[in-house]
Structure 1
């Protein structure tokens, strides 16, 4: 048992009466929060629950609202007919488990890898319908602590973060400038889930079963939610199904509108597709900063920090249509030459390979639950290092990024798009060689 067993049992006793806690196990999902599944048996029988928590109040610093507000929102959504979990209790300071809340466990599939190869026929319709229901929740039902998003201010904050992280990634600078030049007029705010995508929805044989992870919810433009799940990264390899990796945009939008959602503005949708791809690129960089600062020293943080390359590739794919036809047709420059073959004493790459092989052969087979997930993440981290040592590829170019931000150059400059394409391909090949969009970009660009 973990050190959560005793305080969690005490919490459930106060909540539900005397009983027995069994089966406590940490779930592997959750990039920011911990999730623990358990069973509680009392005189009425046994039921399944999930504890969603942050291990300390310090972990929640800088967030717009805490778990009590989040739990109140999930309760409001559930009461309003949205397929949100049923919250049964909220942790207090004296419970000794950090901050969080307990929900009734829903039995359904959450893994995109298991859902997307053969999704239920109704799923794209379900996703559109459920999002319309979320957006229709009345303002009076939404807790006071849920903030209103000002898109211009949020974009300025993203730009400030980019500059704080070095301001030296040209693909990100290109996207910041494009968003500044294409900022839409303010929309009438609705409740925006903020993380509505595969991986945060549960699916069973009948279709959509639950919408999870409400920590990023806010009031804002409904097109932000409409676009987020359609980002390439959240389609998990299903590139020919632009709506969540499940179906077509036409079917998704039609289902949303049929369920009461406002008519979809395709231009506004495109803005949010670019904006949220930019947002996640900076979110990945932020993960690396969290590790560097000591706020979160898990290996997962540094690995996600290197997934910035995926979003840079996607940003170039999204924005290349802004370039003149001649630039889109220009051949790519060559990649940097590969590192020479090793000789003499073991190289850094070979040492890293030896450690990776040891984890795979001696640690991973004995690990269980979250520990096995961590072993796989550690192997991925060492794989990145090995490829980086071979290629020596870097994404930083402060001078070019600065010129793009300032508007001193753009995609009409001869050869610029080709350089950005080559840089995106080579960096993604190091950091995320299995990313599905990488193979497609190579096919499109001749790389």
Structure 2
């Protein structure tokens, strides 16, 4: 068994099972703890049943071979036949089949066409207004002090679409949760967020900037333009795509992931998952804040969109004499890169990189402290007392988003695009 890298929520283990002269490959998918599953709408036994139903309905879902029971003493999970294909977004995008976006659109159409009565009975329905209210409650519980998130919540409240025909929504269909070969799509993975709702949610989720993995100018999964994607979906049985509804879900799921990143910090603090990954993922909130602002800024008056940026946060003076805390962190990171990373493999190598990223975040924050929390402003945005029409607000939010993301994830591809668009020289 080998623990696989990645996976923001569940553990994945690759298993080689030798029988005679044959080696069979399997994947164990399991929850990291019982506490981790608390409050989820369904367990991994239901997820396994859903994967089996999707496969039976013609979807490229993995083949489930067994569901864990308490007597197995392995926790909650299930085992699948291992699909021999790439799951790494970088690897897939580097050698993508010319028709991969059509493959993804086809599988989405198949998922959305699955008869609801063929699915496990406890797949939950989603009421959009209630789900948005829950996101708002979570935001307030996490401090309620990030103005860009408050701005997005208010915008979504003001733009709630009418209910859509109910369909199975995969809920996490994106680069990172598909497997592909250079010939095309091989499997759709990770069904833990499935629910009954608006198919446009699935269409939008994989188009979020964060899931394009650097392919900023290819908004459909980092593979193509949106019109080609929509046409492929409609040609393979999907309902006609409504552009305004798609945009609503693009904003909604970007907000959802921003709050998901904040929640990772809460998971770590509570001890339900004490892994280093949680602390680092929590800092990816700033990626989503920048993306939200770029999705919403068209609502601002032209005078606000063309207003100059305030100056960036000032860096602290360069240290002299004894080494500073920032310099010590840099030395540790350099040692890890030179001595640990070359000797590590598999998940250990992945975690060395995670640790180096964490050290970089802290070092940049020490060198140039940035504050993006402002509860008073967030409250004004939630209540509608402030908006993107408020003079000077958009440039202020732009500067805060740029500075925070520069500290957290300076290589995030949308950061360079935003700097160019906003005149941050």
Question: Structures share a fold, TM > 0.5?
Answer: yes
> Is 1:208 the equivalent of 2:185?
yes
- 1:83 corresponds to 2:60: yes
Matched, 1:223 2:184: no
SS at 2:59 equivalent: coil
CA contact (8 A) 1:197 1:228 kept: yes
Give, in whole Å, the separation in 2 of the partners of 1:343 and 1:420: 34
Q: Hey, what does 1:162 align to over in structure 2?
A: 139
CA distance in 1, matches of 2:386, 2:62: 49
Q: Per-residue deviation at 1:257?
A: 0.7
- Aligned equivalents of 1:36, 1:161: Cα separation in 2: 31
Report if the CA contact (8 A) 2:200-2:249 is conserved.
Answer: yes
Please give the residue correspondences for 1:143-162 in structure 2 after superposition, counting only pairs within 5 Å: 143-162=120-139
Aligned partner of 1:302 in structure 2 is: 279
Residues 1:428 and 2:402 are matched in the alignment: no
Name the structure 1 match of 2:294. Answer: 317
Separation (CA, whole Å) in 2 of partners of 1:194 and 1:306 = 22
Q: Give the distance between the partners of 1:366 and 1:96, measured in 2 at CA.
A: 33
Q: Which deviates more from structure 2 when the two are superposed, residues 261-270 or residues 58-67?
A: 58-67
5+ residue gaps, structure 2, are none
| Equivalent position SS for 1:50 | strand
Corresponding residue number in structure 2 for 1:66:
43
CA contact (8 A) 2:200 2:245 kept: yes
2:90 is equivalent to residue 126 of structure 1: no
Aligned residues: 424
Q: Does 1:236 align with 2:236?
A: no
C-alpha deviation, 1:276, in angstroms: 0.3
User: 1:176 maps to which residue?
Assistant: 153
Partner residue, 2:267: 290
- Counterpart for residue 50 of structure 1: 27
CA shift for structure 1 position 366: 2.3
Q: Aligned equivalents of 1:105 and 1:177: distance in 2?
A: 43
Aligned mate of 2:172, from 191, 195, 204: 195
The TM-score with structure 1 as length reference comes to 0.93
State the match for 1:396 in structure 2.
373
CA contact (8 A) 1:55 1:97 kept: no
Q: For 1:269-295, what per-residue CA distance to the aligned partner results, in whole angstroms no more than 9, with x for missing partners?
A: 000000000000000000111112222
Structure 1 residue 419 corresponds to structure 2 residue 396: yes
Distance 1:321 1:418 in 2: 13
What is the alpha-carbon distance in structure 2 between the residues aligned to residue 246 and residue 100 of structure 1?
Answer: 32
Q: CA deviation at 1:41?
A: 2.6
Q: Offset of 1:43 from its aligned partner?
A: 5.2
Q: Is contact 2:169-2:198 (8 Å) kept? A: yes
Map of 2:387 onto structure 1? 410
Structure 2 partner of 1:252: 229
Matched, 1:379 2:332: no
Out of 114, 121, 146, the position equivalent to 2:91 is 114
Supply the distance in 2 between the matched residues of 1:317 and 1:113 (Cα, whole angstroms).
24
Query: In 2, distance between residues paired with 1:335 and 1:239?
Result: 24
The 8 Å contact of residues 171 and 420 in structure 1, kept in 2 or not, is answered as yes
Distance 1:51 1:336 in 2: 46
CA contact (8 A) 2:33 2:272 kept: no
**Is the Cα–Cα contact under 8 Å of residues 56 and 97 in structure 1 kept in the other structure?**
no
Q: Normalization by structure 2: what TM-score?
A: 0.98
- The residue aligned with 2:415 is 438
Matched residues in 1 for 2:341 and 2:73: separation? 31
Deviation digits for residues 24-60 of structure 1 (CA, Å, limit 9, x no counterpart)? 2111121111111112233583321111111432321
Contact 1:232 1:239 in 2 (8 A): yes
Q: CA deviation at 1:201?
A: 0.5
Aligned to 2:9: 32
Cα distance between partner residues in 2 of 1:323 and 1:295: 41
Distance 1:173 1:344 in 2: 44
Query: 2:258 and 2:278 mapped to 1: Cα distance?
Result: 14
Q: How far did 1:93 drift?
A: 0.5
- Judge conservation of contact 1:323–1:412 (CA < 8 Å) in 2: yes
- Offset of residue 383 of structure 1: 0.2
Q: 1:15 maps to which residue?
A: none
**Distance apart, 1:186 and its partner CA:** 1.2
